[in-house]
A and B are shown apart, each in its own frame.
Chain A
Amino acid sequence: AQTVTQSQPEMSVQEAETVTLSCTYDTSESDYYLFWYKQPPSRQMILVIRQEAYKQQNATENRFSVNFQKAAKSFSLKISDSQLGDAAMYFCAYRIANAGGTSYGKLTFGQGTILTVHP
């Protein structure tokens, strides 16, 4: 079974600094997708960034980037120039790629990392 582990229950960063959130996963599949979701105090889950396992290039979305190490099964999230609005719980998630042309898209989530941003 696939598992996702976020080893940092809490992290903090100063405004305008950079922070990296860790995520590791366990799978026997070779083709899959990885996601980072953000859950602010409103508790709305928001997709931050996504990565395809067969792509070597790390995904980037503005101030958010990932360091995807497939052999190590590691998928960390880097937030640059941190802003107060980045304060939230961040979840790493895994999904197997389509199998047989049909996928119900089941996501497996980590336990989350609470990020605090200090002004």
Chain B
Amino acid sequence: SQTIHQWPATLVQPVGSPLSLECTVEGTSNPNLYWYRQAAGRGLQLLFYSVGIGQISSEVPQNLSASRPQDRQFILSSKKLLLSDSGFYLCAWSVPLGGAYNEQFFGPGTRLTVL
């Protein structure tokens, strides 16, 4: 069965510090991968998605970047955090082709607080 991991679960960082959040998926190959941010417990905003190694698409211009160095690894980074980067970050995966729904399966999330 497929599982998705995220770490760390919780992170407190000072403004201006770098960031690296990691997401890995097990039990599937060539998944589509996604990073979302959820602010103040409300809706999810898609930040990045990837359909393959080294292929990253950004949905909104921001202070963050993403990378996919391996097939089942997705990393969210920042060189200098802003207060507005605080939030709950969710990683998700889906089957790229086939399957009627292509529903997304979510990781447990990382709560980031920037002080």
Contacts and interface: CB of A to CB of B under 8 A. Distances in A.
**What range describes how many residues of B lie at the interface?**
20 to 34
A44 B101 contact: no
Interface in A17-51: 33, 35, 42-47, 50
A89 to B, nearest CB: 7
B29 interface: no
Contacts of B74: none
Contacts of A16: none
A50 B44 contact: no
Contacts, number: 66
B26 interface: no
A102 B106 CA distance: 21
A80 B53 CA distance: 43
A58 B14 CA distance: 49
Interface in B45-72: 46, 49, 51, 57, 59
A106 B49 contact: yes
Nearest to A44: B108
Contact of B109 (A43, A47, A102, A111): A43
Contact of A52 (B90, B94, B100): B100
A104 B38 CA distance: 20
B4 to A, nearest CB: 10
Nearest to B57: A104
B49 A45 contact: no
11 contacts: A43-B88, A43-B108, A43-B111, A45-B90, A45-B106, A47-B103, A102-B51, A103-B96, A104-B32, A110-B43, A112-B43
